[in-house]
Chain A
Amino acid sequence: MEVDGEDGRTQNQLRPLACSHNILYRAHGSASWSLRTRTLRKQTGQIDNLLKSYLMRMRPWLNGNKEALEFKFHHVWVWFRYSGLPLEEAYEMILKRTLQSICHLTINPNTTTSIIIQVINDDSALLSCAINAACVALVDAGIPTKHVAVAICCCVAKSGCKMKAFAYLAFPNSVHSVLPERSSSMQGKPIEHGIVTSVTNGIMSADNYFYSLERGRAASVRVVRVSQEELATALN
Chain B
Amino acid sequence: MENKQSSSPASFVDSTVVPGDVVLDLSSMTNQTIKLGGGLRQDCDAISATKAGTLRFSKPNKYWIESSQKRYVPCVEDTILGIVVDSKADNFLIDIKGPAMGFLPVLAFEGGTRRNIPKFEVGTLLYLRVVKANFGMNPELSCTDASGKAAEFGPLKDGYMFETSTGLSRKLLSSPACPVLEALGKKLSFEIAVGLNGRVWVNAASPDTIVVVANAIMNSECLSGAQQIIMLYDLMDSLVVVLLRETKK
Interface, chain A (partner B; CB < 8 A): 27-29, 57-58, 60, 104, 107-111, 139, 141-142, 144-148, 172-173, 175-180, 183-184, 191, 228, 231-232, 235-236
Contact = CB atoms under 8 A, between A and B. Distances in A.
Interface residues of B, number: 36
B193 to A, nearest CB: 22
A235 B16 contact: yes
A144 B51 contact: yes
Interface string B158-202: 000000000000000000000000000000000000000000000
B51 A139 contact: yes
Contacts of B19: 139, 144-148
Interface in B19-67: 19-25, 39, 41, 46, 48, 50-54, 67
Interface of A is mostly: loop
Interface string B122-149: 0000000000000010000000000000
B11 interface: yes
A179 B46 contact: yes
Contact of A142 (B11, B22, B51): B51
A178 B7 contact: yes
Interface of B: 4, 6-9, 11-12, 16-25, 39, 41, 46, 48, 50-54, 67-71, 73, 99-101, 136
For the complex of A and B, 4 pairs with smallest distance between CB atoms:
A147-B20, A144-B50, A142-B69, A177-B22
A147 B48 CA distance: 9
Nearest to A139: B52
A235 B55 CA distance: 12
B24 to A, nearest CB: 7
Contacts of B41: 104, 144
Given A28-B70, A141-B71, A231 B16 contact: yes
B9 A178 contact: yes
A107 B50 CA distance: 11
B108 to A, nearest CB: 22
Given A173-B20, A180-B4, A228-B18, 13 more contacts: A28-B70, A29-B70, A60-B100, A139-B19, A142-B69, A146-B20, A147-B20, A175-B21, A175-B48, A176-B21, A178-B24, A178-B25, A179-B25
A99 to B, nearest CB: 12
B50 A235 contact: no
A235 B52 contact: yes
15 contacts: A29-B70, A57-B71, A110-B136, A142-B67, A146-B19, A147-B19, A148-B19, A173-B18, A177-B46, A178-B8, A178-B12, A178-B23, A178-B24, A235-B52, A235-B67
